[in-house]
Amino acid sequence: MLTPENNQTEIMRQSEYEPPRSLSHWLIGRPLMTADAPHQTIGKAVGLAVFASDALSSTAYATQEILGVLSVAGSLAYDYVFPISIAIVALLAIVTISYEQTIHAYPGGGGAYIVARDNLGETPSQVAGAALLTDYILTVAVSVSAGVAQIVSAYPALDPYRIGVGVAAVLLIMLINLRGIKESGAFFALPTYFFIIMMFITLGVGLIKSLTGTLGVVLDPPPLQIAETLTAITPFLLLHAFANGTTALTGVEAISNGITAFKEPRTRNAGITLIWMSIILGSLFLGISHLTGQIGGVYSHDETVISQLARTIFDGRGFLYLATIVATTVILIMAANTAFADFPRLGALAAADRFLPRQLTFRGSRLAYSNGIITLSIIASLLIVIFKARVDLLIPLYAIGVFLSFTLSQTGMAKRWWKIGHLKEGEEIVEPGSVLRYNTGWRFKMFINGFGAVCTAIVMVIFAVTKFREGAWVVLIIIPVLVKIFFTIHHHYKDLASHLTLDRFSGLPARHTRHRVIMPVSGIHQGTLEALRYAKLLSDDVTAVHVSMDPEETEKVKTKWKTWGEGTRLVILDSPFRLFIEPLLEYLEEIIDGRQPGETITIVVPQFIPSKRWHNALHMRTANFLREELLTKPGVIVTDVPYQMYPEEEKE
């Protein structure tokens, strides 16, 4: 109610409504207010657990993937495992330095997508977005499948259930993430740090035994599983092994995408977390690769390299072995959390730019991007089912996308430094994602990003060529298809905006002088009369229309209408082929074609609402179908008049 104090065109009112308690509160927690968003950010310690678990977990299978390629050349090729790992860690250092610059340049997050958008254009940004979204989906599928492989290594009897275990793990992670990033981060911090501690203990003991000559080799190694053998080590083989090992770098970009999740100062906290992650990742990867060569570890689907390493270092399957396997299994499964943290955020950014459905920008009751989380869960679960939770089948699809995004991100950053170098002192350019100001060190920074772009582009090409026949071609098709879909969505939103914009709108036409109301009726009852009452409020020109498919029923309608129709005209449309919608639409077409200038036509549709939802299955629900058809007719306004039913009143 307006009072003299608030009698104005714009009134702000605080809603006091609070969502009632429900099952979802027990599953994901009580709803949070929008004002709680600043309190849902995380610090460096939790940030490492949230955004680094993907990268850290890749150490559990990266060495094994190198072995899987080199094993075809026999035991001599194993001497190359450690040198290849060193080359990969050098690439990690380059990528880390480049992304550390990206974090400070783009404090709003978004990583490769935002960098490419601001510096390379729409098409490269959508390629980066498609590559990253594909990578995040595969991250969930690969990480969970690798975790299931660890479980099967320790308990082979569970092998027939690996798909079910994988899907259940995805659903569990989805549920935890729906609680919000702060709670999910706290939940995942323990397993992440447990993994780090156990791996450093395992590698530390292994290195000590190696130095003292007491390490030994794998006892009863699993059977070597290779389809063919080579007599010589070729450059192509080494490049293939290098490409497989670069899966260790997946997840490095995650922190740059999720900067907004960190507490202030965001860029400083995110940058430090990135450096921590890279140091830990590089150390674990080199340690695992070195000790795997020392113990003579082999590539096998039956037992992972980590399992072979742990039982050799700890002399059997004792407590420390089980703790290592448990830690590895949990981090592999929980590594999917990195994708759950980044996929919804990237999806929301692309949706805000109108390249994905707007529903992805929706924040749920816990301030998480719920629709993005659920979408990721569904697609990843389907991949686990299709590829039978096998890491070796999923790996060929992996990493191409992430190295493509690496390349675009660093190319975009190099372009950004070039633009900065051509600014004058004190001059600045405001872009959607950042502000450009002159920087004296722009040449050096452009060199770093440019060199990183060249390196990651080379790796991407190597990966695409060496893994093409194994399934990499699928990703090379999927990414262009996704980009096409993104632009199709974008064109729809642009077309819609051009129709709805007020920029060239000259105002509404003069008030209509004529208003015609048409009311379809299938029978005469209280709901019909309620609709008739409303129709007469709109206009004195009301026409009721009945489609006749049964002569006896039509006679009943005519008789009742004479009694209850209040003199309103009734048009009977004879339908000899027992069609309902088509004759009505034909009649409406005639009315529309003969419409006078300035005339408005409103279709009033009576609709009764059963007291229980399941009762809808017992009725024809003609009003719903009729409304859907009429809404597509130009120049026609459709209005529902609901009539709520009580149990004793429900009739057909």
pLDDT digits (tens, 9 = 90+) for 216-225: 888 877 776 5
Q: Which tens digits make up the pLDDT trace of 374-408?
A: 999 999 999 999 888 877 777 667 677 888 888 99
Q: Report the pLDDT averaged over residues 69-97.
A: 85
Q: Which tens digits make up the pLDDT trace of 100-157?
A: 989 988 888 778 899 999 999 999 999 999 998 998 898 888 888 878 887 887 788 8
H helices of 296-369, in order, are 305-313, 319-334, 336-352
Element (H, E) at 39: none
Is 43-493's fold the same as 514-649's? no
Q: Can you give the pLDDT at residue 74?
A: 67
Q: Can you give the pLDDT at residue 579?
A: 81
Please give the CATH architecture assigned to the domain spanning 514-649. 3-Layer(aba) Sandwich (3.40)
> Residue 372's CB: how many other CB atoms inside 10 A?
28
Superfamily of 43-493 according to CATH: Amino acid/polyamine transporter I (1.20.1740.10)
Q: What is the mean pLDDT of the chain?
A: 84
Triad 447, 450, 455: Cα angle to 5°: 120
DSSP 400-462: HHHHHHHHHHHHHHHHHHHHHHTSPTT-EEE-SS-EEE--TTHHHHHHHHHHHHHHHHHHHHH
User: Which of these ranges, 52-61, 160-169, 196-205, 268-277, has the smallest mean pLDDT?
Assistant: 52-61
User: Which of these ranges, 51-60, 84-93, 363-372, 438-447, has the smallest mean pLDDT?
Assistant: 363-372
Positive/negative CA dihedral, 446, 348, 14, 31 = negative
Percent of the chain at pLDDT exceeding 70: 87
Q: Report the pLDDT averaged over residues 249-254.
A: 84
Least Cα distance to 105 among 437, 457, 424, 403 occurs for 437
Kindly provide the b/e burial profile for residues 66-105, where b requires at least 16 CB atoms within 10 angstroms of the residue's own CB. bbbbbbbbeeebbebbbebbeebbebbebbbbbbbbbbeb
Element (H, E) at 605: strand 599-609
Q: Where are the domains of the chain?
A: 43-493, 514-649
Residue type, 523: G
* The pair of three-digit structure tokens given for residue 292, joined into one six-digit string: 């795997």
pLDDT band at 5 (very low <50, low <70, confident <90, very high): low
230, pLDDT greater than 50: yes
pTM > 0.85: yes or no: no
Instruction: Name which residue leads in pLDDT, 538 or 26.
Output: 538
84, pLDDT greater than 50: yes
- Residue 578: φ, ψ to 5°: 60, 35
- Residue 356: φ, ψ to 5°: -135, 160
Q: What does DSSP assign to residue 76?
A: G
2, pLDDT greater than 50: no
pLDDT band at 650 (very low <50, low <70, confident <90, very high): very low
Distances (CA, A) of 75 to 231, 244, 296: 11, 18, 8
